[in-house]
Structure 1
Amino acid sequence: MDLSDLRIFTAVVREGGITRAADKLNRVQSNVTTRIRQLELDLDVDLFIREGKRLHLAPAGQLLLGYAERLLALADEARASIKDPHPRGVFRLGATESTAAVRLPSAINEYSRRHPEVTLELRIGNPVTLSAAILAGEIDAALVSEPIADAPFEKIPTFEEELVIVSAAGQPPVGRKGCFPGTMIAFEHGCPYRKRLENWYASHGEMPARTVELGSYHAMLGCIVAGMGIALLPKSVLTTFPESKRLTVHRLPPGQNRSSTVLIWRKGAGSPNIEALRQILSRSRNGKA
């Protein structure tokens, strides 16, 4: 049983017979008759009571008619939705923790205002897990920090972040001789900022004696205020932390202090929902309302 069978069946019911249904569908009568017979064989029931050339709906046909009309209406709705260039439905978006906390709120607010027919779902993760989620079809797009492989994704730049190392207030500038804190505080493996901090230690011939893994920047910053260690993070995150006066911000040298955030989605899987977000982020990047 397929949709074309159901369309022929409902046409026969509405037109009151094979001949008028065939005219309506621009088919020959024998084709309509054959398709009705095949549908009955497939369902193993008689859909019509036949009295000569006259057809009356059998009880099974009456039952099928209700389902057929709903299925055909749903198929028409799905077809219209797919061809509709306007954003709609569920939009599953991923983002890193810092982007979700600092950069996304205004963009999501504008998106929801402009496109009320879209339901936004947000997943937080690192670039590795979010990239895998896109390829697995679990989310539609994500905002992640570079580097991201080009091959499976389309991507556009969205934000530029200044990266800084943060320690407790009053600590001497990190990186000077003898000033390499033994504990670094970071997200789990897969976080590009963790990798950058590990590389920073290595570039000075040092390694942290201990790494504390935490799941949020505010938890990290609280531990830093308590003197537990240092972290590398986007400077913009500090604007959301009420105890920022109890921190010391250590700037990195040019060439080591920038990070690009990009919007990525699977190649060939663009959609009106993604395009709408791309336009909002592009306007924000270019300083337009």
Structure 2
Amino acid sequence: MDPTTLKIFCVVADELNMTRAAQRLSRAQSNVTTRIQQLERSLDATLFVRQGKMLSLSEQGETFLPYARALVATAEEARQAVHPGTPRGPLRIGSMESTAASRLPPVLAAFNRRWPEVSLKVRTGASRPLVSALADRALDAALVALPLWPGDMSSYDAASLRMAGRAVFQETLMLVRPAGARERTLSLAAFPEGCSYRAAAQHWFASSRRAGGAGLDIQDVPSYHAMLACVASGGCFSVMPASMLALLSVPQGVETAPLYSISTWLLWREGFRSAALRAFEAALGADDTAAPGAPAERLGL
């Protein structure tokens, strides 16, 4: 099981289509098919269920996939370890939606110009699944909001989350609500469970006793635009960072107020800080909302 074949398997598992996987890998489709067949023979396992041109992972494939991802990541870490001085190769960054929209575009453009040999990929999501992906070696680093509020990491084995990192952005978390409304009469419009800002809103709501003894109804939404629409409709309140709010057109009848500051951290697995990741960290430190030169901290998540 060489790393190249394992990487091919992971890409096919992502795409579930041989043609798209071959295009992504810049390989002939016949080569991709042959590599998968060779891997299945070596494992004496059927990794994919084939239905015409469509694929799905078999039960054995589902079991094998996290191991394959971990082996590919370990091989890449080993490769970078023998070339510690030159930023190069793949770098997989996870980011919250708001950070990707409001903070990263100029940073990524400058980084790409400075380090063209780094193949940088950005994946967006909520803080909890990003931390999980980082722990599983599916990401090299993640930009998440800290602190992770009580219960926000309850599904994790803390011993497996050996993380280090530092604060790179300071955000002002804003309350967004219909003008004149009170939160105890409204639902919370928020991203699904796992979002740090959702957890922060729940924590604030409970600690400020706005519920009046009643529970908080939460409406899951897929985007900040949808959050704002829910607020504008008069039935919801929401919270979002001021940097994200500045990108949206706030309609009449919606009022905003600052709640408190919350830090966005760059996290990485303790002991793994490649040249590409160090270069990315330096690029973040150049932003005027970051903390240049701030030391890395070991985190007991």
Q: Which residue of 1 aligns with 2:204?
A: 200
Shift of the 227–115 alpha-carbon distance from structure 1 to 2, 3 Å rule, reads same
**Alpha-carbon distance in 1 for matches of 2:102, 2:207:** 30
| Equivalent residue number for residue 224 of structure 1 | 231
CA root-mean-square deviation: 2.4
Once residues 133 and 257 of structure 2 are traced to their aligned partners in structure 1, the CA distance between those partners, rounded to angstroms, is 34
Which residue of 253, 259, 262 maps to 2:265?
262
Number of aligned residue pairs: give it: 201
Closer, same or farther: CA 82–197 of 1 in aligned 2, 3 Å: same
Give the greater-gyration-radius structure (CA). Answer: 1
Is contact 1:183-1:208 (8 Å) kept? no
Change (3 A) 1:122 1:244: farther
Structure 1 spans left out of the alignment, 5+ residues: 1-77
For residues 79 and 197 of structure 1, what CA distance do their matches in structure 2 show?
Answer: 42
Match of 2:171 in 1: 161
| 2:175 matches 1:171 | no
- 1:281 corresponding residue in structure 2: 284
Q: Deviations over 1:39-97 (max 9, x none)?
A: xxxxxxxxxxxxxxxxxxxxxxxxxxxxxxxxxxxxxxx96983251211111100011
1:103 aligns with 2:113: no
| Identity %, equivalent residues | 33
Deviation beyond 3 Å, 4+ runs, structure 1: 78-82, 148-151, 243-246, 285-288
What is the alpha-carbon distance in structure 1 between the residues aligned to residue 126 and residue 82 of structure 2?
31
1:226-245 maps to which residues of 2 (within 5 A)?
226-245=233-252
After TM superposition, give the deviation of residue 250 of structure 1 in Å.
Answer: 2.2
The alpha-carbon distance between structure 1 residues 244 and 208, as it changes in their structure 2 partners (threshold 3 A), is farther
Q: Label 1:244 to 1:268 Cα distance change in 2 as closer, same or farther (>3 A).
A: farther
Unaligned runs of 5+ in 2: 1-77, 149-157, 293-301
CA distance in 2, matches of 1:80, 1:229: 48
Q: Find the aligned partners of 2:205 and 2:79 in 1 and give their Cα distance.
A: 56
Change (3 A) 1:244 1:212: same
Q: Matched residue of 2:92: which SS?
A: strand
Query: 3-state DSSP class of the match of 2:192?
Result: coil
* Letter paired with 2:110: E
1:32-51 alignment to 2 at 5 Å?
A: none
Match of 2:83 in 1: 83
Aligned in 2, Cα 1:216/1:82: closer, same or farther, shift over 3 Å?
Answer: farther
Letter in 1 for 2:265: V
